[in-house]
Amino acid sequence: MKFISEASTGVKIQKMKERVRWRHSSITARNIDQTSMVLDDGKQNNPDFSFMVIGDSGTKPYPGFHPQRKVAEMMLPHRDECSFVLHTGDVIYVVGSQEYYPRNFIEPYREFIQGGENYKRIPYNRITFNQTPILPVLGNHDYYNVPLMSRLVSGSTKLLRQFFRYKDIEIGWYGSEQGNAYAQAFIDCLGNIDSSLLNEHLDTHYTAKTDTGLCLRYEPGIFTRVPNRYYTFRYGGIDFFALDSDTFNMPSPIPSTKQGEEKRHQLSKQRSDIEAEEIQILEDITKLNPEKSEDAQQLDELNAKLNQIDEVKIDIEKQLASNYKTNLIDWEQLDWLKKRLIESWHSDEVRGRIIYFHHPPYVTEATKWHQAQTLAVRHRLREVFDAVAQTLGSRDSERPIVDLILNGHAHCFEHLRTTNTGYADSNINCIVSGGSGHRPRRQRKEGNSLMEKFITPNRIDNRKVAESYLFAGKNGHGETRRLPYSFVRIDVKAGNPPRFTARPFVAEWYQDKWSNFGLEPFEF
């Protein structure tokens, strides 16, 4: 039985379109761009500004400590100096269920929310951010669902009772409902508005002007809804592109060849092996008492292993399910990104570009680099960048297509830079900020250099495509185990091209105590 399910790419796309009334006649008649917004805080034209980045945060307190709240408290001294917070996804664990928004989002970030002093009274679908809003993208956990049978039999089946215990009851009865909980919390769901009131709503909130027409006016303290699951906004001369990588992370189909069949067999065996390992861990968990300090750490380690097994199983399922008939890629979003990047490069008002989404194309966290989803996202993004570069020709050829890529998904902080890959994703700074609340992960043992296999008709070439320069993740074992939770502040300076200074901050849980410190800032 599957404990967690995921909607198909087609269902995700269609459901989100319905929620925003994609290209409704009232919207097209007003020439409204549903993928753009203006962050109207009175400071959006200042070329010197700062913002923060968090990700993979949405979990409850652990026994004796609350990592997500601790990171939020570290962020508070920077709140007045930062214009906004970007969230790189996985807002709510484990399945994005609406029940957990009050405890796992509203309560820990209450100072960032209008009326947050009475946070227990704020409904999850009525959040209004104050002067430092949180601008999110969807993570995979924000799209997960709970199959009906899992809910119905969880009270009577031993294995499921064990499973729900290890999940620490963060499953809920609803799941994300194909991303609906996230949409109700953050997106302007025009589908919720009565048809007789739709025109008035559009005339009130879609009054900002851009090169592509009217768009949503995002006003901190007044109306803080993003227009879509992917969107763009311009701030301080920088174009920000928020993407939904959950709809273009499907691995390429396994070919119907002898080698393909061998790969299918290997994946099926791997799935069988880790399922056996999962059952054994679940049995071991039943023997531990979380109330005993000597058992609590071992229980946490086993829970972490089960979380990693979940991710491996889902990645295997995606590979086995992918085929040439059903392998839907969100080309509409990728074509949109290509078009908007080209337009951005041809605008004299733009001096830089930042993209943020959930799944990192480059990362050295131990569980992510070898995932098929990582490769799929990297290849999809590379295709877009190559297409943009071809249209630009020699225009600013020394500069990368984008100045910065921001991601989550990997539970760590990491700064990487791509090498000369031979493609248009060369020489790009990448920051993974996915260590803001959920269990940190270790760095892989293979080292800081990322190698990618390139297959051509004449040869197979292993090429270095990125280098990791800074990593903060889980390290040590037993009494020496350290759990660093993090966020990063990024300062943007005037000038064209702009200069960026990234300042990572860490709250480390070690031997039942917190230590706060900043890592060495770096510029690019």
For 388-406, what is each residue's pLDDT tens digit?
A: 999 998 665 679 999 999 9
Backbone angles phi, psi at 165, to 5 degrees: -65, -45
- What's the CATH code, domain 5-250+328-523? 3.60.21.10
* 367-402 per-residue burial string, b: 16 or more CB within 10 A, e: under 16: bbbebbbbbbbbbbbbbbbebbbeebeeeeeeebbb
Instruction: Report whether pLDDT(338) > 60.
Output: yes
Q: Tell me the β-bridge partners of 455.
A: 460
Looking at residue 464, its amino acid is K
pLDDT of 48 higher than 90: yes
Torsion of CA 276, 376, 87, 517, to 10 degrees: 70
CA atoms of 93 and 271, how far apart (whole Å): 23
Give residue 161's pLDDT. Answer: 43
Sign (positive/negative) of CA torsion 115, 433, 314, 421?
positive
**Band (356; pLDDT cuts 50, 70, 90):** very high
For the chain, what is the radius of gyration of the CA atoms?
A: 22
pLDDT at 275: 82
Q: Per-residue pLDDT tens for 466-509?
A: 999 999 999 998 889 999 999 999 999 999 999 999 999 999 99
State the burial class of residue 296 (Cβ atoms within 10 Å of its Cβ: 0-12, 13-18, 19+): middle
Q: Which residues contact 36 (CB under 8 A, 6 or more apart)?
A: 210, 212, 213, 215, 216, 227, 231, 232, 233
Segment 52-83, tens digit of pLDDT: 999 999 998 887 889 999 999 999 999 999 99
Backbone φ and ψ of 380, nearest 5°: -65, -45
Judge contact between 233 and 225, C-beta under 8 A: no
Please compute the mean of the pLDDT values over residues 365-370 and round it to a whole number.
Answer: 91
pLDDT for residue 3:
62
Residue 151, pLDDT score: 45
- How high is the mean pLDDT of the chain? 90
Positive or negative, the Cα torsion across 510, 514, 520, 524?
positive
Tokens representing 355 are 């993209």
pLDDT digits over 136-173, tens only?
999 999 999 876 544 444 333 444 444 544 444 566 66
pLDDT of residue 312: 81
Window from 146-150, 188-192, 400-404, 426-430 with minimum mean pLDDT: 146-150
Total Cβ atoms within 10 A of residue 198: 17
Q: Which has more pLDDT, 259 or 509?
A: 509
Q: How confident is the model at residue 326 (pLDDT cuts 50, 70, 90)?
A: low
Task: Give the residue-averaged pLDDT of 430-450.
Answer: 95
**Tens of pLDDT, residues 308-318:** 787 788 788 87
> Residue holding tokens 């020439």?
31
The set of residues, in sequence order, having a beta carbon less than 8 Å from that of 86 and lying 6+ positions away, is 51, 52, 53, 54, 134, 135, 136, 240, 242, 356, 406
Percent of the chain with pLDDT over 70: 91
CA angle 311, 315, 319 (to 5 degrees): 170
Q: What is the mean pLDDT of residues 205-233?
A: 97
Kindly report whether the global pTM for this prediction surpasses the value 0.75: yes
Q: Which burial class, exposed, middle or buried, applies to 258 when counting CB atoms under 10 A from its CB (0-12, 13-18, 19+)?
A: exposed
Q: Enter the DSSP assignment of 345.
A: H
Higher pLDDT, 164 or 190: 190
> What pLDDT score does 257 carry?
83
